[in-house]
């Protein structure tokens, strides 16, 4: 169940019209309609207001593998795990996962790609400074930028995976970092948040970037 479907069901269960929910989120009813149709994505601020208004977690709202089921008897909303998606993810993403005391992670170091990949036992919501969107991720990757190094060029990036299916993983670049050490520090802090079972994490050590040419990025420190 995607975000738009969940938002529509939550709005109806809580007795809001599109106009009334628009007043709560400080947007027009047309924007609420577009949210529910998944034609536009809400900002981080609006997602935060949805979480507070409907008293759900970021994972429950953003994770497509969790669907809302409405019971006719008392109009209660129950959050249940979509077993089909869960089984597919377990087969493709949780193989060879080793268990730690508080979280499950897999670390793979490849000398050629110089990337470090971590699989988590559960998802955590992160705001991407690159796409300006929030999603719940179960896998993270720190990698070094390719090509020649420059003073204006970030050394590393952090990417997250929020979905894996027949056509591969849906990978999103979350942020860029001045040094690989900064990216590793971010990953460590993120894993600490996971170990505390926090629902979301705000990136702390990244640097703002801007486009340089068609495919490159450079640090934007103005």
Per-residue model confidence as pLDDT tens digits over 168-219: 788 899 999 999 999 999 999 998 888 888 999 999 999 999 887 655 788 9
Q: Report whether pLDDT(75) > 60.
A: no
The tokens 């952090």 sit on which residue? 158
Residue 88 — pLDDT band, cuts 50, 70, 90? very low
Q: Which range, 15-24, 70-79, 104-113, 176-185, has the best average confidence (pLDDT)? A: 176-185
Q: Report whether pLDDT(162) > 70.
A: yes
Q: Do 67 and 80 contact (CB within 8 A), yes or no? A: yes
The domains of the chain are located at 3-81, 85-219
Cα–Cα distance measured from residue 58 to residue 127, given in angstroms and rounded to the nearest whole number: 11
Pick the CATH number of 3-81 from 3.90.1150.10, 1.20.58.1030, 3.40.50.300, 1.10.260.40: 1.10.260.40
Q: How many CB atoms lie within 10 A of CB 77?
A: 17
| Average pLDDT for 31-43 | 87
| Average pLDDT for 87-101 | 44
Q: Report whether pLDDT(91) > 80.
A: no
Average pLDDT over the chain, rounded to an integer: 77
Q: End-to-end CA distance of the chain, in Å?
A: 41
Cα–Cα distance measured from residue 219 to residue 208, given in angstroms and rounded to the nearest whole number: 6
Q: How many CB atoms lie within 10 A of CB 148?
A: 6
Q: Report whether pLDDT(57) > 90.
A: no
Q: What pLDDT is attached to residue 105?
A: 37
Q: What pLDDT is attached to residue 158?
A: 94
Q: Report whether pLDDT(113) > 60.
A: no
Is pLDDT larger for residue 138 or for residue 118?
Answer: 138
Percentage of the residues of the chain whose pLDDT score is greater than 90? 26
| Average pLDDT for 161-174 | 84
Percentage of the residues of the chain whose pLDDT score is greater than 70? 74
Cα–Cα distance measured from residue 181 to residue 205, given in angstroms and rounded to the nearest whole number: 10
Strand duo 115-127 + 134-144: pairing: antiparallel
Cα–Cα distance measured from residue 83 to residue 112, given in angstroms and rounded to the nearest whole number: 37
Lowest mean pLDDT of 1-15, 18-32, 61-75, 131-145, name the range. 61-75
């Amino acid at each position: 169940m995607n975000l738009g479907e969940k938002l529509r069901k939550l709005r109806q269960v809580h007795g809001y019209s599109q106009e009334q929910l628009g007043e709560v989120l400080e947007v027009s009813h047309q924007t609420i309609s577009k949210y529910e149709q998944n034609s536009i994505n809400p900002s981080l601020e609006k997602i935060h207001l949805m979480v507070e208004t409907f008293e759900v977690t970021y994972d429950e709202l953003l994770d497509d593998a969790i669907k809302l089921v409405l019971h006719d008897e008392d109009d209660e909303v129950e959050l249940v795990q979509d077993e089909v998606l869960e089984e597919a993810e377990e087969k493709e993403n949780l193989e060879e996962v080793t268990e730690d005391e508080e979280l499950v992670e897999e670390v793979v170091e490849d000398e050629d790609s110089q990337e470090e990949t971590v699989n988590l036992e559960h998802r955590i919501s992160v705001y991407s400074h690159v796409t300006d969107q929030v999603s719940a991720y179960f896998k993270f990757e720190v990698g070094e930028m390719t090509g020649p190094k420059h003073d204006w060029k970030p050394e590393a990036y952090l990417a997250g995976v929020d979905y894996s299916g027949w056509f591969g993983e849906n990978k999103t670049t979350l942020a860029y970092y001045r040094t690989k050490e900064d990216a590793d520090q971010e990953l460590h802090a993120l894993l600490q948040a996971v170990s505390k079972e926090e629902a979301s994490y705000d990136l702390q050590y990244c640097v703002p970037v801007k486009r340089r040419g068609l495919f490159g990025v450079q640090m934007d420190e103005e």
